Structure 1
Amino acid sequence: MDTCADPGLFGPGSVTWQMHGDPMMWIAGVRALYLQALHPRAVRGVLQNSDFRRDAWGRLLRTADFVGTTTYGTSEAAERAGARVRKIHGMLWATDPDTGERYGVGEPELLLWVHCAEIDSYVHVMRRSGYPLTDAQTDRYIAEHRISARLVGLDPENVPASRAELAAYFEKVRPDLAAGPEARTVDDFLLRPPTHPLLVPARALVWRRVADLAYAALPPYAHALYGRPAPAPAVVTRRLRATGVLLRGVPARLRWQLPPKHILRAMARLGPDTRPALHRAGP
């Protein structure tokens, strides 16, 4: 590792650096979308400020780019990315159709929900798909992401920093969750995203399997809210593990060639020995 280069906000010694290089993060990201949509105030803020059906792919890719930049970019690049997100949140508002209340999408309550749904999804899918995270590493990972919470405008002291704190947060927020019309819009998109007619067979063959697996990996209360059943947990775990084996079988160097090449750029900056590998994260 080049000791003169900037390792960024997390650095190669973090669990985040190692874990975010895994391809199952994409399925975890789709699970996060499903989960995030169950908070009516949060998902309303998204749908009232964008044409979700036309720009959902762009939103997913922008989220992936933010995660890649804040994980593998320089400290300056990560801080710039955070500043952009905070600026956008500060300009957006939503309206509750039932009460007429107008509220900012950057409210701490909403930002915390989005953050926790993402972190829970990343941890859940990775561990259940066979990624060898210990309990201690999982707690470290959750605590590390007080950094990403700060970047989007949250006070890190108010953000869960362990599995126990994350579980307590979800227990507290569950009464506020519902599968309203906005959640149904997200569900419909994820099941049948708009695509060119020639790509419809590929959508059915590839994307539908990704969406189905991400949905199946949700907690039981989420399945109940959406009103769509999921396979038995043991079946879902087998499918996640099989998918993990398949995707991890693709050489990492080939996967990391996909734009915007955050990992390869970080390795070029810091040295080849900083390539993501879980054993470098410590116990």
Structure 2
Amino acid sequence: MRGRGGDVVGTGTEEGRGDPGLFGPGSVTWQVHADPMMWVAGVRALYFQALLPRAVRGVMQNSDFRKDAWGRLMRTAGFVGTTTYGTAEDAERAGARVRKIHRHLQVTDPDTGERYGVDEPELLLWVHCAEIDSYLHVARRSGFRLTDAQADQYIAEHRTSARLVGLDPADVPGDRARLAAYFEKMRPLLAAGPEARDVDDFLRRPPVHPLLIPARATLWRRVSHLAYASLPPYAHELYGRPAPTPAAVTRGLRFTGTVLRCVPARVRWQLPPKHILRAMSRLGPGSRPAPYRIGSRTAILDRPGRAQRGDGGDSARCRSRGRPG
């Protein structure tokens, strides 16, 4: 549920050539965010974020979410892509735009009449933590191999993205233990209010052209179902909808992850706005994201030869079980 600043796109111009951006190819973030399961994770994040009434109310009162939810999803994806793979200037510009928009948005509590800003640190922190938890949870549970230390590194890296939206990095959880403690503290404040129900209704049955209704039934329904099912059990209780057993959810996520990762990365990365291809053009082939690069002791850009293997580590998994994923 980012603000509307997510449509800033890296240019890959000469001015930015060689700039690794805020994360860089040596980061866990660089590899994880190239994974196709991030789309499922993004939907999970929306479900999770909507459970804090003060936060989701800000979205519903300050945007045309009901009419332009697809646009909002794409702007959020654009923001994440820009801050991950764009130049440092691209990322800072995207963050500045989000902060500027948020400063001018107010929310009214319908029960008390209280007015508050959408940029309250408590609200920004919830949105951030729900998003990062979703990305990490779905990636790992669907078969993207990360050690606990690498998972902690991923969370710590995103203190940078928290800064971009206006948070003090010192106030943001930097590892799994602190993130879990934060969610435990927040549980009494969570509820599936009217706005969360609206989000749930959209994610289950998004409006589409009549010709696309069969695709919604066969493709989107699976994405939405998996995203919802992967939420923590207390989230299912709040929404009031059951979910399959944890083992069944994990099997579904792993199956979907395996299928999507068999699609050649070069094919997936051709989809607009091509953040990853722009980054590779700017930094060279050694910057190509690939799961097996995580944990390498030598900086990725110092080993350009690795970039020539396979198609980035995804479809290679369909050919060989030996390479880590």
TM-score, normalisation: structure 1: 0.98
Structure 2 counterpart of 1:5? 18
Aligned to 1:281: 294
Percent identity (aligned): 79
Q: Which residue of the other structure, out of 250, 254, 259, is the alignment partner of 1:246?
A: 259
Unaligned 5+ segments in structure 2 are 1-15, 297-325
Q: Which of 258, 274, 279 is equivalent to 2:271? A: 258
Structure 1 residue 205, shift from structure 2 partner: 1.0
> Greater helix share, 1 or 2?
1
Residue among 25, 29, 49 paired with 2:62:
49
Shift of the alpha carbon at 1:274? 0.8
Residues 12 and 280 of structure 1 are in contact (CA less than 8 Å); yes or no, is this contact kept in structure 2? no
8 A Cα contact 2:17 2:282, kept in partner: no
In the alignment, the residues of structure 2 paired with residue 156 and residue 281 of structure 1 have an alpha-carbon distance, to the nearest angstrom, of 24
The question of 1:232 aligning with 2:245 is answered yes
| 1:134-193 Cα deviation digits (max 9, x unpaired) | 100000000000000000000000000000000000000010000000000000000111
1:189-237 Cα distance to aligned partner (Å, 9 max, x none)? 0011111111111111111111011000000000000000000000000
Instruction: Give the one of 34, 37, 52 matched to 1:39.
Output: 52
Establish whether residue 219 from structure 1 lines up as the match of residue 204 from structure 2: no
- Between the two proteins, the alignment pairs up a number of residues equal to 281
Q: Of the candidates 90, 98, 109, which is equivalent to residue 85 of structure 1?
A: 98
**2:125, 2:69 → 1: CA distance?**
21
Match of 1:169 in 2: 182
1:160 and 2:149 correspond: no
Find runs of 4+ consecutive structure 1 residues off by over 4 angstroms: none
Aligned twin of 1:59: 72
Is 1:72 matched up with 2:92?
no
3-state SS, counterpart of residue 203 of structure 2: helix
Residue 62 of structure 2 aligns to a residue whose secondary structure is coil
Secondary structure, counterpart of 1:100 in structure 2: coil
Distance 2:42 2:139 in 1: 11
Q: CA RMSD in A?
A: 1.1
Structure 1 partner of 2:8: none
Distance in 2 of aligned mates of 1:270 and 1:51: 38
What's the offset of the Cα at 1:280? Answer: 2.5
Q: Does 1:19 align with 2:35?
A: no
Q: Distance in 1 between matches of 2:182 and 2:221?
A: 31
By relative contact order (CA 8 Å, sep 6+), the higher-ranking structure is 1
Give TM-score scaled by structure 2 length: 0.85
Report matched runs for 1:89-128 at 5 Å.
Answer: 89-128=102-141
Residues 36 and 113 of structure 1 are in contact (CA less than 8 Å); yes or no, is this contact kept in structure 2?
A: yes
CA contact (8 A) 1:53 1:193 kept: no
| 1:52 CA displacement | 1.0
Q: Separation in 1 of the partners of 2:257 and 2:196?
A: 28
Whole-Å separation in 2 of the counterparts to 1:275 and 1:234: 33
Between the aligned partners of 2:269 and 2:30, the Cα distance in structure 1 is 14
Deviation of 1:238 after TM superposition, in Å, equals 0.2
Give the SS at the match of 2:201.
Answer: helix
Distance in structure 2 (CA, Å) of the matches to 1:71 and 1:124: 18
Mapping 1:127-206, distance limit 5 Å: 127-206=140-219
CA-CA distance at 1:278 after TM superposition: 2.5
Query: How much has 1:46 moved relative to structure 2?
Result: 0.1
Q: In the TM superposition, what is the alpha-carbon distance from 1:4 to its structure 2 partner?
A: 6.8
Deviation per residue, 1:40-93 (Å, 9 max, x gap): 000000000112111111111001000000000000000000000000110111
